[in-house]
């Protein structure tokens, strides 16, 4: 077994552990922190079903962003939808036999890589061209885009320019999933691609990528507008009720 194979196996086990472990810690914190007051941004749905719909529109269509700025929406939505298609397509490297709908998604996922990089390019251009966005951009904002563009370009390179031994790559990952180390091709473009993906997994739970789980816990979007009908009170606030009858002072 080559050093390279062992190294990348270790990297991916570690990255997966950090991604999952980090997200569990963060999501747990979001879930356990109370929202003591009703603060939905109104007009807000008055029923749970309505909230599910609002959240679905927000997550699938970026409704609020659409209201805000058509350029950011266009680039951002293009990037995210493309990333989704690309990710679904990549399931073929982790399943054997490949699920039928992954086969169906294959051509879309393949070309979505271009749209993904285009969307990222648009978002990056805004960080230089719009003075307001330039002002708020930190080095990590730029590097995050560099990282994602790097992943996209190396992936496209392997799909359309210099093919890698994809059968061996798939074998490597199928092996990883059953703790059986199988050789990884020593293709430089592949190694860069995989390294960047592992880096993305590691920084996910310690960076702004937490917007992905975060939105589901955002009180302004996930609360029902029913404050007059239901008493909503946080555990830490109930102590104020005790002992305070009709006369408090």
Partner 1 sequence: MAAPQFEVPKLTGYIEVPAVKEGASAHVKSFPANAAIQEIIGFPAGSAPGELVEDWHDKAIAKMGDLLGKYRSLQVFMDACVHCGACTDKCHYFLGTGDPKNMPVARQDLMRSVYRRHFTFAGKYFPSLVGAKDLTKDVLEDWYTYYYQCSECRRCSVFCPYGIDTAEVTMAGREILDAVGYGQKYTNEIMGKLHKIGNNLGLPGPALLDTLEGLEEDMLDATGVAVKLPIDVVGAEVLLVTPSADFFAEPHVESLMGYGKVFHAAGTSWTLSSKASEAGNFGMFIGSYENTRRAAMRIREAALELGVKRVVVGECGHAWRVAYSFWNTLVGVGAGGEDPFSIELQKQLDPRYPAPQHICEFTYDLIKQGKLKFDKSLNDHRVVTFHDSCNVARGSRMGDIPGGQFIIPREVIKAVVNNYHDMAEETIGESTFCCGGGGGILTDDLLEVRVKGALPRMEAFNNVVQESKVNFLALICAICKAQFVKVIPFYGFDMSMVGGVHQLVSTAILLENKEEE
Window 146-205: residues binding partner 1 (CB under 8 A)? 203
Question: Of 11-30, which residues contact partner 1 (CB under 8 A)?
Answer: 26, 29-30
Judged by CB under 8 A, does residue 247 bind partner 1?
A: yes
Stretch that binds partner 1, among 89-97, 152-160, 163-171, 215-223 (CB under 8 A): 215-223
Q: Least distance in Å: CB of 240 to partner 1?
A: 6
Q: Considering the rule CB under 8 A, would residue 215 count as an interface residue with partner 1?
A: yes
Question: Which residues, in sequence order, are CB contacts of 19 under 8 Å at separation 6+?
Answer: 201, 202, 204, 205
- Own/partner long-range contacts of 68-77 (Cβ < 8 Å, ≥24 apart): 71/122, 71/126, 72/123, 72/126, 74/119, 74/122, 75/119, 75/120, 75/122, 75/123, 75/126, 76/119, 76/123, 77/119
Asked if 229 is part of the footprint of partner 1 (rule: CB under 8 A), the reply reads yes
d(CA 51, CA 169): 42
Among 108, 111, 173, 217, binds partner 1 (CB under 8 A): 217
230 touches partner 1 (CB under 8 A): yes
Least distance to partner 1, CB of residue 55, Å: 10
SS3 label, residue 218: coil
Least Cβ distance, residue 222 to partner 1 (angstroms)? 8
140: phi > 0 → left, psi -120 to 50 → alpha, else beta; which? alpha
Contact code string over 113-152 relative to partner 1, x by CB under 8 A: ----------x--x---xxxx-xxxxxxx-x---------
Does residue 91 touch partner 1 according to CB under 8 A?
no
- Using the rule CB under 8 A, which residue among 2, 28, 46, 87 binds partner 1? 46
Cα separation, 134 vs 159, whole angstroms: 34
């Amino acid at each position: 077994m080559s050093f390279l194979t062992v190294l990348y196996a270790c990297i991916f086990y570690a990255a997966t552990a950090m991604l999952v472990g980090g997200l569990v810690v963060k999501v747990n914190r979001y879930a356990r922190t109370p929202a003591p007051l009703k603060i939905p941004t109104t007009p807000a749905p008055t029923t749970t079903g309505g909230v599910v719909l609002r959240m679905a529109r927000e997550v699938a269509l970026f409704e609020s962003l659409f209201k805000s700025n058509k350029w950011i929406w266009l680039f951002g939505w293009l990037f995210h939808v493309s990333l989704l298609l690309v990710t679904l397509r990549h399931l073929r490297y982790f399943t054997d036999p490949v699920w039928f709908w992954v086969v169906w998604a294959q051509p879309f996922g393949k070309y979505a890589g271009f749209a993904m990089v285009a969307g990222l390019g648009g978002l990056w251009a805004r960080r230089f061209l719009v003075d307001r966005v330039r002002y708020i951009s930190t080095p990590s904002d730029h590097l995050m885009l560099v990282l994602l563009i790097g992943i996209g370009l190396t992936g496209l390179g392997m799909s359309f320019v210099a093919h890698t031994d994809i059968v061996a790559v798939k074998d490597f990952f199928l092996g990883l999933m059953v703790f059986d180390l199988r050789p990884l091709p020593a293709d430089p473009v592949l190694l860069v691609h995989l390294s960047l993906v592992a880096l993305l997994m590691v920084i996910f739970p310690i960076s702004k990528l937490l917007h992905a789980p975060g939105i589901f816990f955002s009180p302004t979007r996930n609360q029902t507008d029913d404050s007059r009908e239901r008493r909503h009170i946080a555990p830490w606030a109930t102590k104020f009720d005790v002992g305070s009858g009709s006369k408090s002072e």
